[in-house]
Structure formats: structure tokens, C-alpha cells
Structure 1
């Protein structure tokens, strides 16, 4: 193509083009971080460059996102970590929030048995006991390499010296300012500003910096005891919240055995309950495994119909069988039994949509649950970490802990407040996910690591509430079935079905009109919505690590 470029500038044009190509197809061999905010990606990359491993970088990114991504990054929430060592060891860490000891099954229901509007969303009683700090401490103790203080300090610097606000963050803060002011009338709105926030402004969070200093110097005790705990308890007292010092003292993250399964030549390593994501993902993958998806093509009518019917059945199972395994016997083996999954798909009819009213949770012989963030990290040693962490709603319950500078979660809404009544994401649940003191609420978070031929192949996950599972599922298919590279796979338009409501939700222009017309004639209903998920992915190629950072947000990939 360069034969048409003439004159004194031809050499520079060629060089510029080659530099563009190299950037567009960047592959890194020493490590990569893909996460939801540029500053946090830089923090993680710097930790890798200092000789830290993937867990070190993950700890640093978690705390950096608590500063720069207040919509979802947090120390007041919780999450899940899936880990794979360079040698193939796998493990998962459950640092999901827990219901306070004073929680009860009917705490969000009035005397007439009706749900009290917004009580599980925008009150102090919406908050579960936070797990993020304990989770990061445990992850570091087990797998960390660098000094703890060195991993927390970058977040302190961002909070105390300030960081530049992006357009997305400015818009999100501005759209929530009325709620911040209303819900923090007797407290402090740390995002208060005389004029609207705009891209390029600097946000300083000195109280959050002081909280992080306590965590840096005292680790777990710096959050669950001492001055920070006092701030939390004062906030609970001010708003009639339920969290007590005993709740803080008793909180512990849990190491759990990973859920694993196979899809063709790939081994899938993912999160067990109380995440519903791992089981659902493996069910979905097996549901479509025997069909020629690669021949049908990405988002064509047969592909969309098959995926929709699989999603419909899996979300029905989720509503009945998934919850905290410490409180409810989750039938993991039965749900993942390939014969069971095959049986569920037999009622699938190519000629017409299966109404969700005709699909109920499956049964077994003898057998009597939008705002989250994800980051994927691979280090120079070959260790990989996939973490999804959350406050539940955007900015959690939108209530700040006065004096401590961070937001409380509203994870209690992820419980089934009343059987059959949907939560904020439209998901319904029952006894398995009912509220009980000390119980972890069900989650859709699906941090996942995939091997190919025994070697690390993919690290993936996403935020998105009820759409998390389907976003991860469809993005994996984009790579392994539709031959998309990492960036294409996370950029591709997505669709979603979750059993109830009985509709296919689609991003704008996700499906071509002929595809929609064909499926509508078969009885499928469609609803266009905004963005679905913000997937962050790393794929291992012959040339190194290739990242996919979702353009739906400020997601950034950084490697070396």
C-alpha cells in the first residue's frame, strides 16, 4: 500500500502507520492489568514492574479503585477472587458481604406483607458487613510477595493528592448528587461541589486517605477496629443501621474450592456459591456445546435463539437452588450434571420461543439472586487473578461513612426480601437466598480463568448485575467460537435473557433487523436498553498477553 506514498514525508508516514499497527495489536510478555479506571491500571502495572505478582497487583488495584471508581470500587463492599498459579494451582476467595446479626427474614416487609420501597436500597439497613479489606489482607497473606504498605500507598496518594475525573465519573456523580444530598443530610457529601463536575476536574478525598492510612499501618485492624470502626458504628447509630462491632469482629473471608468444568478443549475455572455465576456459566456452556455456533455466526438468529433458551433455563434454576452454601445445601453436582443440562434443553423448540411461564426450576431425584467492577491481571511469572468486586447499586446505598470517607453498600437487596418478588435487577429468588443473620447474599459475579491444553488462556469478568453471567458467557464464545481477538470480544454488542421478565434485552444495534424479525415471528419479545456489562479480559496468545478493555466505560489495559 505504501507504493502510492511519494515525497519527503513518505518515510514518516510509513513509520507512523507501523507504530499505529503495533499499538493496535499490542502484546505484552511480562504482565498485564485490565481494569475500570486508568489510574488504577497504572497502579497495578507499577506493582508488577516492581516485581510484584498478580495478587500484589490485585490488592493495589482494589484499593486504587476504591478511590477512583466510587460507583463500584470499594472498601465498603465485597467481592470474589479466582486465582490460578503459574503451576496450575487454583483457588477462590469469597469476601462477599454478610448480613448483620440483627438482620431478619422479613426486615424489608411491612405488616401487610408488602415490600417497603427502597428500604433494601437507600437506607443504612441496606448495608451488609463489608468484606473487601479482610479479603485483600487474606489474599496478600496467602499469595502476596511485596510489602503490604507498598500496595496500599498508591491509593493513599490518589486520595490525598487528588486524581483527574473522567467524563464517565463526572456524569455519574452529577446524576446522583440529589440523592447524595438527600441521604447524607446529617452527614457529609464528599462529592459536593458548587458547580457540576466535569472531565478534567480533580477530586480530593482526604478522609478516605486517612482511612487507607489506617489500613496500610494496621491491616485488618485498621478497618474493623479502631477509629475507622468507630466511624462505621457512629454512622449506623445515626441512621438506625444494623452493623455492630461484633459484626465487624466476626467477619472473615472464606477460601473455597473453585468450580471447574470443560467446554470442548478448554478448562473453565470459576467461582462457586454464593456466586451463582460459576455454576450458571458452566451450565450455559454445556447447553450450547454440541451446536455449530462458529458456523452459524456471531449474533445471527440461530445463535441468539439457542443462547436465549439456554439462558432462560439457567436463570430459572438460579432462582431456586443457589445461595450461601454455609446456610443452604446447594446441589452443585446435580446442577452441573451434563445429563441434567441436556434434559433441560430438550424442551427447546426451533420453531417457537419457549414461554418463561412454561419453564420452572428443574428437579433432581432425591432433592428436597448494576454496579460492580472487574479486573483481570497476569504477571511475569504466569500467575493470574480474576476479581469482581461491588457495592451492588451504583455508589452503593449512596450513604457515606462520615469521617471515614467511603460509601456503604446496599448488598442486602441481593437477598430475596420476599419469595417471588424481584430485586433491583429483576431477579427473583426463594428460600435458598432468604435473609438470615451472618449469611452471604447470592451474587451474579462471575470472575473466571480459562485454560487451553493445560496452559493459561484467558482471564475474564465483568460488572453488570444480572447481566454479568451472560456477558461473560457471550464474551467467551466471541473468542473461542467466533475467532474474535480480546478487544473485539469485549467490544462486540451483547444481548441478555434472565427467564423473568420474558424478554431479550439488547444493546442498540446488537442485532440486525432480519434477525429480530425472524425471532419475533417465533414469539420472542425484545427490549432495547443501554450498555450491557463492561468486560475486562486478557487472552494469552503466541506473542504474549492481549488485553480487551471495554469501551463502554473508562476501562484501561496496561502491560509491559
Structure 2
């Protein structure tokens, strides 16, 4: 017992450390007309330049997506997928689902052994972990519907970055060094272009194979990836490594335009992604719950505020596990999950003085309808169009498999399915029938690209990376601005904590909770665990009262804002 108490005191001290490291009143870059915030300075600069040339936010989103595939390979991609939410300057909304899909040969038991037990790492690493990529089809569809500049001009900056080389940041150099042996183990042919014995900050990386792949995409559009040379190389990689993606899978892939989810909380309209993302539903549920409590009076990350937020997260993630999946395969009760009366009932057992045991929290029974390392970028153009995009390979560097001759990494999104009912994925998330593996199905995601309106006008564009922590990261950032009055940069700087129903503990960044607040939560029955590496990497843009734009770039990464 003494050891347990001493261990807890140590956790409190560690969790409380660093409170002064980040300025909670800091403002980010402020621009007059347009803004791009992304995970890498070079990608943000590419997007800003497209906007300077007269391109719209959707043009810039395409250019940033491809630039990230070069300079941010752990999550930026051509071999993955993502979600996009947009708001045009006239208030019209749209959402693009370019999430990966399960190959036609996929089946519910593909990651189980003969005893029906999950085979360790099979859904996470190697060729079988990859879903059919959606990024290129998504960007082509975005350009066909909303693009204003020539396609070739939007892809060319990424071609130049890959062919001419770019300078590594210290964080990116460290990640390449950490993954070196994984790349060798899981790629069927050694990707020598990325296997330098030791990378250092300031080193130049040239990716000639990727440059050729991007040139094909630049010149041939969709056919430059899903057909011809690139498709041949991808399928050959699959055959060598025991994967199951075929040319037919590539040819059959198509993105889907969906209707964004909308909700109201604290006087703001929330616009976010519908299923197969769980982010929009969970975020609107969390903000609806929070609206009913005086969080402003209780204070930022106080015991009362944090306790309420954790209890809300516990219930929302329980709903996620049972009810959410690909709406093309499973009838997701969206209207029921977002009904205010249902959300209020979910908090019926909330005790202000005591934590709820997650084993006693089951998913709710919403009324039926009446009729997954990631990266995020946010863009607002001079006309007032706004785009919020979250794109991913799933884990950092995806499946660790480079497509030989094509120079890009494949995703490991198959792990985002429920590989076995009740079995947690790499983020500890559990699921069931709604998210079971099926051919052609899109796997459930936590990505939460979001736009807020106030009084009918654009107010905020925000999103984050971070797997299962994406939802709670976006939730806390929105509360930091709309309830606690933080500037955009300070709202992103602020320490974060996370709870997801199971496992039943609070992950907390250093400095997110003071020692006394942590003690107060422990006294209520919560279990705390420090998260030294940080939670999420967010990118946000706030429209200031005078119409200028404030960018929030996450100090946890190399994120940067650029604009004019």
C-alpha cells in the first residue's frame, strides 16, 4: 500500500510538471486574409503560396496533402486516406470521405490464428495490415468539384520537394532513426533511400522514387496511381509480402461525398465529419453534455471540470465501441445518438463526487433514425472558404512497408477494424459487429476535422492527429476558446488529458493537471497515468472579431502557420 501511494505521488508530481512551459495567453500568427496551419513548415508554405497565387482553400488543401506526403512521411501520405470538411464562404457545407477500404479478399478472421486468437502485430505491421488507399482519389474528386487552379500546378510543389530534396527537422530525423529496423524488416526490398545509418537535423532527404510516382499523379491524375506503373508496383509489393490488395481493389476504389454532421452548443454551430468517422458524433455529444454544466465558473482543468469531462468521455467512448461503423454496411443510429434527450440520459448516473467504474458503463440504447498517427491541417482563404482535413496512415509510418520502386509507405488501417469483438486495437479502443472486417468496408476512425460558426459566420477551423485522443483533443481546444476565452495558440498550447472508457484511466500530459487537482481526481476514484510524449498535434485557425485570422500551430510537433 505504501509503494502504491508513493507511486501515485510520483505520478502527480510528474503530471503537474511543466505547467509554466507553455504560455496560456499566447497568440499565434495573425494574418489579414488567408492562413494555412499544418504539421510541417514546408507544407504550410506550399499551401500559403497556392493561396497567394489566387487559389482557393480547396486548391491549397490538395497541395498541402501532397507536400505532407513528402516532408511528413509518418502520417502525410499517398498510400493512406482521410476525411475533409469544408465550408464555402456563402455557408454551403460539404464533407469528403476518402478513407481506406478493406480489400475484396478481407474477412473477419484474417488476423486470428486457428484457435481464434488475435495474432500479435499482424493487423499493425506488414502487408496484410494495409487497406486500399484513398488519398489520390479523394484529392482528384476534391479538385473536380471545387478546384480553381490546374491540377498539375497543385501537385508540382510536392514533386519538386521530393526530387530536389528537403531539410530534416530534429523531430523528423529522430523518427527516421527510430524506425530504421522496422523499415528493413517489413519492406520486401530494402528502401535504401531512407536507410542512412543515422539522420541528423539539417540533413537533406531526396526521394526520387516518390518524385516519379508524384509525376505520374501530376500528369495522369487518378490513373497515375490506381492504374499503370504505380498500381503494378503496389500489387507486386503485395504479392512479395503476402498482402491481399489487387489491381481490381485499386480500380474499384472511390471516395464518397457525405453530408457533414452539425450540432449546437454554447451558441456555436459545430460542423464535423459523419461516420465512418466517430469524431463528429462523439464531439457533438461531448460539447452538448458540457453545455449543461458551469465549466467557466469551475475553471480550466479544475477538479470539477476535469471530472465532468472524463465522465462524459467515458460514456461517449462506450457508445463509440458499440454503435459506430461504416454507414454503407451498418445502420449507424446517428439521429438517436445526437438527440439531446438521449445525451442527457447518458449522464443520468453521473456522480459529481465519484468516478464511475467503466465496467459498469455499457453503451446506451439510442433511438433508431426516423427515416485511427495522423496529421491535420486547417485552411482559410481570402474569400472566406474554410477547409479542415485530417489524413493518416494510422500508426506512425503506417505498416512500415515501402512500395518498392514507388517510394511511398502503405497504411496499416486494417487495425482500425474490430479484429475480434471486444479486443482492443493499437490505441486501446474496443469494438464489435458495427466495425467488423468486411470486403470493401471502411474502417471506423477517430478523425475529427471540424469547423465552427458563430452567429452564422465562420469562427474556427480545427482538428488534430493522435488516434483515439483526437476527439478529446479537439473537444478540449474548443472548450478552451469558447468557454475559457483562450486565444487560438494558447488553446492548442494548453495541457490535455484523455479518457476513452477502456482502459479505465486518465492519460494526462505533463502540466495538464496541477498536483492538487490530480489528488482531487484520485480522491474521486480516478486513476491517472502520465503521457510524457504529449497528446495530439492540433492545427487551428480562429477568426478574430475584426476579421483577421489567428493560427494555432502545435508546439508538440514541427507544426507551423503561414499566410498573408
TM range (shorter): over 0.9
- The alpha-carbon distance between structure 1 residues 345 and 183, as it changes in their structure 2 partners (threshold 3 A), is same
Give the drift of 1:25: 5.8
Alignment of 1:107-256 (within 5 A): 107-193=110-196, 195-256=197-258
Corresponding residue number in structure 2 for 1:416:
418
Alpha-carbon deviations, 1:326-384, whole Å to 9, x = none?
000000000001001101101000121111011000013569xx700000000000000
Of 334, 353, 363, which aligns to 1:361? 363
Q: What does the per-residue CA deviation read over 1:414-439, in whole Å, with 9 as the maximum and x for residues that have no partner? A: 00000000000000000000000000
Q: Could you tell me whether the CA contact under 8 Å between 1:487 and 1:549 is conserved in 2?
A: yes
Q: 1:93 aligns with which of 93, 96, 121?
A: 96
Q: Aligned ranges for residues 307-456 of structure 1 at < 5 Å?
A: 307-364=309-366, 371-456=373-458
Shift in Å at residue 186 of structure 1? 3.1
Partner of 2:18: none
CA distance in 1, matches of 2:479, 2:501: 21
Q: Does 1:36 align with 2:22?
A: no
User: Given the two structures, how large is their TM-score scaled by the length of structure 2?
Assistant: 0.94
Mapped to 1, the partners of 2:165 and 2:100 lie a distance apart of: 29
Of 103, 108, 116 in structure 2, the residue corresponding to residue 105 of structure 1 is 108
User: What residue in structure 2 maps to residue 548 of structure 1?
Assistant: 552
* Deviations 1:11-38 (CA, angstroms, capped at 9, x unpaired): xxxxxxxxxxxx9664212200000001
Superposed CA offset, 1:262-306 (max 9, x none): 012100000000000000000000111011111111111000000
Evaluate the alpha carbon distance shift between residue 91 and residue 517 of structure 1 in structure 2; reply closer, same or farther with a 3 A threshold: same
SS at match of 2:225: helix
Deviations 1:294-329 (A, max 9, x none): 111111100000000000000000000000000000
2:55 to 46, 52, 59: 52
Unaligned runs of 5+ in 2: 1-25
Q: What is the Cα deviation at residue 188 of structure 1?
A: 2.4
Q: Cα deviations across residues 56-87 of structure 1 (Å, max 9, x unaligned)?
A: 00000000000000000000000000000000
CA distance in 2, matches of 1:503, 1:365: 29
For residues 176 and 443 of structure 1, what CA distance do their matches in structure 2 show? 24
3-state SS in 2 of match to 1:157: helix
Is residue 181–residue 189 contact of structure 1 (8 Å, CA) maintained in 2? no
Match of 2:267 among 247, 265, 268: 265
On the 8 A contact 1:180/1:189 being kept in 2, the answer is no
User: Is the counterpart of residue 495 in structure 1 residue 497 in structure 2?
Assistant: yes
Deviation for aligned residue 1:153: 0.2
Encode CA deviations 1:474-532: one digit per residue, 9 max, x unaligned: 00000001110010000100000000000011001210011111111111100001210
Distance in 2 between the 1:150 and 1:178 partners? 36
Determine helix, strand or coil for the equivalent of 1:339. helix
Matched, 1:534 2:542: no
Residue 123 of structure 1 deviates from its aligned partner by 1.5
Match of residue 14 from structure 2: none
**Residues 377 and 385, structure 1, Cα contact 8 Å, conserved in 2:** yes
Over the aligned positions, Cα root-mean-square deviation in angstroms equals 1.1
**1:18 alignment partner in structure 2:** none
Per the alignment, residue 475 of structure 1 pairs with 477
Tell me the distance in 2 between the aligned counterparts of 1:430 and 1:249. Answer: 29
The CA distance in 1 between the partners of 2:379 and 2:561, in whole Å, is 10
Post-superposition CA distance 1:220-265 (Å, at most 9, x none)? 0000001011100110111111101110010000000000000121
Task: Give the Cα separation in 2 of the matches to 1:284 and 1:307.
Answer: 8
CA 1:354 to 1:416, structure 2 compared with 1: closer, same or farther past 3 Å? same
Comparing 489-498 with 540-549, greater Cα deviation is found at 540-549
Q: Which residue matches 2:70?
A: 67
CA distance in 1, matches of 2:367, 2:403: 49
TM-score w.r.t. length of structure 1: 0.94
- The answer as to whether partners of 1:189 and 1:400 remain within 8 angstroms in 2 is no
> Per the alignment, do residues 265 and 365 of structure 1 end up closer, same or farther by CA in structure 2, a change over 3 Å counting?
closer
Q: 2:301 aligns with which of 288, 299, 307?
A: 299
Q: What is the CA–CA distance in structure 2 between the aligned matches of 1:239 and 1:264, rounded to whole Å? A: 51
Distance 2:354 2:64 in 1: 47
Corresponding pairs, count: 535
Q: Which one scores higher on RCO, CA 8 angstroms, separation ≥ 6?
A: 2
